[in-house]
Amino acid sequence: MWQCRKCGRPVFFAERKQSLGFDWHPNCLRCEECGKRLNPGQHAEHKGVPYCHHPCYGALFGPQLFGHGTRNECHTSFGKVENRDGQVKRSHLESSLKVYNQFYEGKPGEIKSREVNGRMILEGVLKIYWGVRNIIHLKEEDDQRTFAIRRRSTASASSTGPSDDFYSDSDEEQPLWCDDPQVNGCSTPTAQSPSSPQTPKPQASSTPTTPGGEEARRRRKRRRQEDRSSTTSTATATSTPVRRAATKTGSSAIRRRPGRRMDKTKLKRRCSINGHFYLRETSSFTPPHASPCSVWITSLVTVGEVLNMLLEKYRVEMSARNFALFVIKDNGERRRIRDEEYPLITRVMLGPHEEVARVFIVDAHHTDEISPQVAQFLNLSLAECRAILQQYQQEEVRQIKAVRQKYADMAFYIQRRMKELRGV
């Protein structure tokens, strides 16, 4: 079963669309910018993401001046399908991007920005750290193992020579034709010399009647077995021209192998993350914790697409639904990046310092979020945590006493009022 490149769900044969080397649902093969449905092989692509030729691809990745001296790069309707960057204010994003690029000035981590019809498009490299605890399964596409090929004997190979019947015909077809011309009652007309033509003897028939014919048949069968099991030519040098013609020009000659049978090269093991080899027998690998990896994206690429690009880059054959992107800060806070967010914008808003906040790829089903209120207690020592718990317990006791005193006072006043009413 195939899997969709965009949503990761199974794709059936009837609805399968192949484009960019992947399988898609018909509804998933759409332009990333405007959402228009695309036909396989009739659209543009950038970094593995499909776009329509006009106007989206030309506007996003074309020249700066698409029109005739104007700053508009495409039609005015471009980019109005969805307000993709409406979650972050424009002024806040520009200030964060300025601080981010100042830190990476002259370095590969700098993020470029473009303005398209009043919209801000970011593009650059996003650094992601591995935080997967479970074993991941990798593809093994570069495996070049040497394999043995069992070759058939060339004595039974097909040929167009005149002596094919000598090896290919069965005993029933030509029972009296044998390898030894000196045997009475048989001959070899297919290998006769043109200078001395011979005619079959009149006693040749379809059924052998002489003991010499039976002996010739057994001898012919024995020699066929020797020819099939031998690796060299089985032709014997005789004085008759019939035998010399069969060994030199006939199809029964066995070809010798030039040199070694096979070039046994070393197995090429493909390196995975950071040059580490994975276990070949099971194709399994556990990435070192906090080992970095990079992927080039834009501010229009979602979380699911980033995961697909990352898994495809490192040849991970597991589904993207098993992984998730988390923002992990130095104080222990963990927050999952939602599907409606854009990782590149999230990275810019977090700031350029990787020591303060990092983007991790983790197991989606075994990683929980940690709120800032809980994260503030993670870096405390055991004595400090015990002191805080003691303060909480004392506060709890005081609150319990206050609540009990409150209801005791209410009960006292109610009972006094009831006595007053009885006395009246």
Tell me the pLDDT tens digit for each residue of 32-74: 878 888 888 888 887 778 888 877 787 777 665 544 444 444 4
Q: How far is 41 from 368, CA to CA, in rounded Å?
A: 41
Do 364 and 392 lie in a common domain?
no
Structure tokens belonging to residue 340? 């409606």
Domain boundary residue among 218, 248, 278?
A: 248
Domain count, the chain: 4
**Residue listed under structure tokens 């990046």:** 337
User: What is the residue-averaged pLDDT of the chain?
Assistant: 73
Spatial contact of 125 and 282, defined as CB atoms under 8 Å apart:
no
Domain boundary residue among 181, 215, 248?
A: 248
Do 40 and 22 lie in a common domain?
yes
φ/ψ (deg, to 5) at 61: -125, 10
Length of the chain: 424
Question: If pLDDT is split at 50, 70 and 90, which confidence band does 257 have?
Answer: low
* Sequence-ordered list of residues with C-beta below 8 angstroms from that of 119, at least 6 positions apart, any chain: 79, 85
Instruction: Find the CATH number of the domain harbouring 284.
Output: 3.10.20.90
Spatial contact of 186 and 220, defined as CB atoms under 8 Å apart:
no
Do 277 and 342 lie in a common domain?
yes
Do 273 and 136 lie in a common domain?
yes
Q: What is the pLDDT of residue 130?
A: 93
Q: Which residue has the higher pLDDT, 2 or 188?
A: 2
Judge whether residue 288 has pLDDT over 70. Answer: yes
Question: If pLDDT is split at 50, 70 and 90, which confidence band does 396 have?
Answer: very high
Do 72 and 39 lie in a common domain?
yes
Q: How far is 54 from 78, CA to CA, in rounded Å?
A: 10
Do 294 and 371 lie in a common domain?
yes
322 domain-assigned: yes
293 domain-assigned: yes
Domain that holds residue 207: 154-248
Amino acid in position 412: F
188 domain-assigned: yes
253 domain-assigned: no
Segment 250-256 mean pLDDT: 55
327 domain-assigned: yes
SS3 4: strand
Do 359 and 388 lie in a common domain?
no
Q: Which residue has the higher pLDDT, 282 or 398?
A: 398
**N- to C-terminal Cα separation, the chain:** 89
Judge whether residue 128 has pLDDT over 90. Answer: yes
Question: If pLDDT is split at 50, 70 and 90, which confidence band does 344 have?
Answer: very high
- Nearest Cα neighbor of 128 from 264, 290, 274, 287 is 290
Q: What is the pLDDT of residue 389?
A: 92
Model-wide pTM > 0.75: no
Domain boundary residue among 213, 248, 283?
A: 248
Do 276 and 367 lie in a common domain?
yes
Do 363 and 387 lie in a common domain?
no
Do 302 and 370 lie in a common domain?
yes
109 domain-assigned: no
Instruction: Find the CATH number of the domain harbouring 34.
Output: 2.10.110.10
Do 296 and 240 lie in a common domain?
no
117 domain-assigned: no
Q: 45-84 burial, b if ≥16 CB within 10 A, otherwise e?
A: eeebbbbbeebbbbbbeeeeebeeeeeebbeeebbeeeeb
258 domain-assigned: no
Query: Which of 174-183, 204-213, 316-325 has the least mean pLDDT?
Result: 174-183
Do 238 and 281 lie in a common domain?
no
